[in-house]
Chain A
Amino acid sequence: MIPETNHPTPLAVVACQVMQPALVPLIAESLMASTVFLDYGLHRSPDLMQPRLQEVLGRIRTPSRVLLGYGLCGNGLHGLQAGEHTLIVPKVDDCIAILLGSRRTYRQQFHAQPGTYYLSAGWLEAGSHPLGEYREYAEAYGQADADWIMDAQYRHYKRLVFIAYSREELERYRPQALQVARYCQRWDMRYEEVIGSDRYFRRMIAILKQPQTGDDGFVVVPPGGRIRKAQFTE
Chain B
Amino acid sequence: MSQLIEQITTGVIEGNIQGVSELVQKALDEGLEPEAILQSGLIIGMNEVGRRFKVAQMYIPEVLRSAKTMHAGQEFLRPLIAGGKAGRVGKIVIGTVQGDLHDIGKNLVGMMCEGAGFEVIDLGFDLAPEKFTEAIKAHQPDLVGMSALLTTTMRVMGHTLKAIEEAGLRDKVKVMVGGAPVDAEFADRIGADGYGHNAVSGAELARKLVNAA
Q: Mark interface residues in A105-133 (1 if CB within 8 Å of B CB, else 0).
A: 00000100011000000000000000000
For window 84-121 of B, CB contacts with A under 8 Å fall at: 98-104
- Residue from the list A74, A110, A145 in contact with B65, Cβ < 8 A: A145
Could you give, for residues 139-171 of chain A, a 1 whenever the CB lies within 8 Å of some chain B CB and a 0 otherwise?
011000100110011001100000000000000
Complex CA distance for A12 and B65, rounded to whole angstroms = 42
Given contacts A74-B151, A140-B61, A149-B64, contact A48 B56 (CB under 8 A): yes
Q: How far is the CA of A72 from the CA of B150 in the complex (A)?
A: 10
Interface centre among B56, B64, B151, B180 (most CB of A within 10 A): B151
Tell me the smallest distance from the CB of A159 to a CB of chain B, in Å. Answer: 11
CA of A47 to CA of B68, assembled, Å: 25
B60 — which chain A residues lie within 8 A by C-beta? Answer: 44, 149, 153
> Is the beta-carbon distance between B56 and A44 smaller than 8 angstroms?
yes
Q: Is the CB of A93 within 8 A of B54?
A: no
Report yes or no: A232 in contact with B151, Cβ–Cβ below 8 A.
yes
A148-B151 Cα distance, complex, nearest whole Å: 26
A223 at the interface (CB under 8 A from B): no
B55 interface hit (Cβ, 8 Å): yes
Of chain A, the residue at the smallest CB distance from B179 is A74
Among candidates A75, A137, A156, residue contacting B101 with C-beta atoms closer than 8 Å: A156
Q: Are B61 and A137 in contact (CB under 8 A)?
A: yes
> Complex Cα distance A153/B64, Å?
9
Contacts of A48 in B (CB 8 A): 55-56
Whether the Cβ atoms of A156 and B125 lie closer than 8 Å is: yes
Residues of chain A contacted by B64 (CB below 8 angstroms) = 148-149, 152-153
Contact A156 B155 (CB under 8 A): no
A115 touches B101 (CB 8 A): yes
Chain A nearest CB: distance from B185 CB in Å? 9
Per DSSP, chain B at the interface is loop
- List A contacts of B104 (CB < 8 A): 152-153
Q: Could you tell me the distance in whole angstroms from the C-beta of A104 to the nearest C-beta in chain B?
A: 13
> A residues within 8 A CB of B155?
233
Contacts of A232 in B (CB 8 A): 151
A44 to B: closest C-beta gap in Å: 7
By a CB distance below 8 angstroms, the chain A residues around B180 are 46, 74-75
A45 within 8 A of B: yes
Closest Cβ of chain B to A99, distance in Å, is: 15
Are the CB atoms of B151 and A44 closer together than 8 Å? no
A144, B158: Cα distance in complex, Å: 40
A140 to chain B, nearest CB (A): 7
- A residues within 8 A CB of B54? 47
Instruction: Please tell me if the beta carbons of B99 and A74 are within 8 angstroms of each other in the complex.
Output: no
Does residue B152 face the partner (Cβ distance < 8 Å to A)?
A: yes
Shortest distance from the beta carbon of B189 to any chain A beta carbon, whole Å: 9
What chain A residues lie within 8 Å of B181 (beta carbons)?
46, 74-75
> In angstroms, how far is the closest chain A Cβ from the Cβ of B198?
12
Which of B61, B152, B153 interacts with A149 by CB under 8 Å? Answer: B61
A183 to B154: give the CA distance in the assembly, Å.
29
User: In the complex, are the beta carbons of B55 and A47 less than 8 A apart?
Assistant: yes
In Å, the complex CA distance between A229 and B183 comes to 11
A75 touches B151 (CB 8 A): yes
Closest to A158 in B: B101
Task: Scan residues 14-71 of chain B and give those whose CB is less than 8 A from a CB of chain A.
Answer: 54-56, 59-61, 64-65, 68
Question: Which A residues fall within an 8 A CB radius of B?
Answer: 44-48, 72, 74-75, 93-94, 110, 114-115, 137, 140-141, 145, 148-149, 152-153, 156-157, 229, 232-233
Please list the residues of chain B having a beta carbon within 8 angstroms of any beta carbon in chain A. Answer: 54-56, 59-61, 64-65, 68, 98-104, 125-126, 150-153, 155, 180-181, 183
Q: List 15 A-B contacts (CB under 8 A).
A: A46-B181, A48-B56, A72-B151, A94-B150, A94-B152, A110-B152, A114-B98, A115-B101, A115-B126, A141-B61, A148-B68, A149-B60, A149-B61, A149-B64, A156-B102
Apart from A48-B56, A156-B101: 7 A-B pairs, beta carbons within 8 A: A93-B151, A93-B152, A94-B150, A114-B100, A137-B61, A141-B65, A148-B64
10 smallest beta-carbon distances between A and B, as pairs = A45-B56, A156-B101, A114-B99, A93-B151, A149-B61, A93-B152, A115-B101, A75-B181, A149-B64, A74-B181
